[in-house]
Copies of this chain bind each other. A is one copy, B any other.
Amino acid sequence: MKIEYQLEKVEKNTKARLGKIKTNHGCYDTPMFMPVGTKANVKSLTPEQVKDCNAAIVLANTYHLWLRPGEDVINHAGGLHKFMNYDGPILTDSGGFQVFSLAKNKKKDITEEGVHFKSHIDGKSLFLTPEKSIQIQNKLDSDIAMSFDECPPASASYDYLKNSVERTLRWAARGKQAHTNKNQSLFGIVQGGAYEDLRKYSAIETVKMDFDGYSIGGVANDGESKEDMYKAIDYSIPYLPNDKVRYLMGVGDPIDIIEGVIRGIDIFDCVLPTRIARHGQAFTRKGKINLNNSKYLEDFTTIDESCDCYTCKHYTKSYIRHLITTKESLGGTLLSIHNIRFLIKLTEELRIAIKEDNILEYKDEFIKKYCNK
């Protein structure tokens, strides 16, 4: 079946939405943060560790899996769920973002047909089209596939963006046409930078195609400001239907998640919690901390006293600092668990705030602590 979104409540003072997503792999509450499992695993974590963070949907990357091990291998394995041993829902991106961010030397040739570029692994010439992206995702058999879109940088001109939005719409239509997996949902992506008319146009035209959900893209590509991100959301949301889920792509900063939820976003994904973990950084209610700091050498308290994650239940900053500074990968694993749980717990608290109609107070309170104001 396709996913179903059920809107349960809109918060009194904002556009924040409480809802449920029904998938082939369980029913889950929104707003929700989705951990990223780039190459069919959330870096260094077992699926049990991911689920223990109360994660629901996990994101996997079509571009990476297309290159290695190849979509046919995963298809022959019985699909992504069986391959990676994850029985929760999986969303695959379209590969579009990686083509634009990872292509060797960032060189690519965008034609109406698709994008020619070179592999970031071995420099091999590759060609990705809307049809190919969907065919790969059909074979991966994720719960949710994304349309193939162009992800222009924040520096792109209005004229460039206008053309790009038009092409992305044509690509979305071609992808929808090519989509054959009856058990897989397909989302459309709204682009248009920080321009009100482009976002409106992109949203209206994408919604006309009737996708199973809608995503707002182009907010975390390359150099977008927070202001532009909030504009992109505000300009797109009014034209998205209430009965479909709304996904803000690539966003995982805690404050951005709060701002996104307030503006009407339901789901988020980002590599941030696992990436900063590998560098020794942890989210806390009082802002990010870096466990490499020597002040934690004999700090026998947990990362965040209000946290209920596995890491905070069992380990001190002193121990995690030791693992991080001696390059033991368990350090990154423990911090990844904490950081993922931190963002998921944040969305759980936002759901309560929506229920209680006090999300603006929650935001103020959170930011006051998080930014040490």
Contact = CB atoms under 8 A, between A and B. Distances in A.
B73 A325 contact: no
Contact of A77 (B44, B310, B318): B318
B68 A300 contact: no
A329 B43 contact: yes
Contacts of A7: none
Q: In the complex this chain forms, how many copies of it are found?
A: 2
Nearest to A47: B314
Interface string A12-48: 0000000000000000000000000001110111100
A84 interface: yes
Interface residues of A, number: 37
A326 B39 contact: yes
A328 B69 contact: no
Contact of A83 (B68, B84, B318): B318
Given A85-B314, A319-B84, A330 B300 contact: no
Given A43-B329, A44-B330, A69-B325, 4 more contacts: A44-B333, A69-B318, A69-B322, A329-B329
16 contacts: A40-B319, A44-B44, A44-B329, A44-B330, A46-B333, A64-B326, A69-B322, A73-B318, A77-B300, A77-B316, A77-B318, A77-B319, A78-B300, A83-B319, A85-B314, A329-B329
Instruction: List 9 tightest A-B contacts by C-beta distance, closest first.
Output: A69-B322, A85-B314, A44-B329, A41-B330, A39-B326, A329-B329, A68-B326, A83-B319, A39-B328
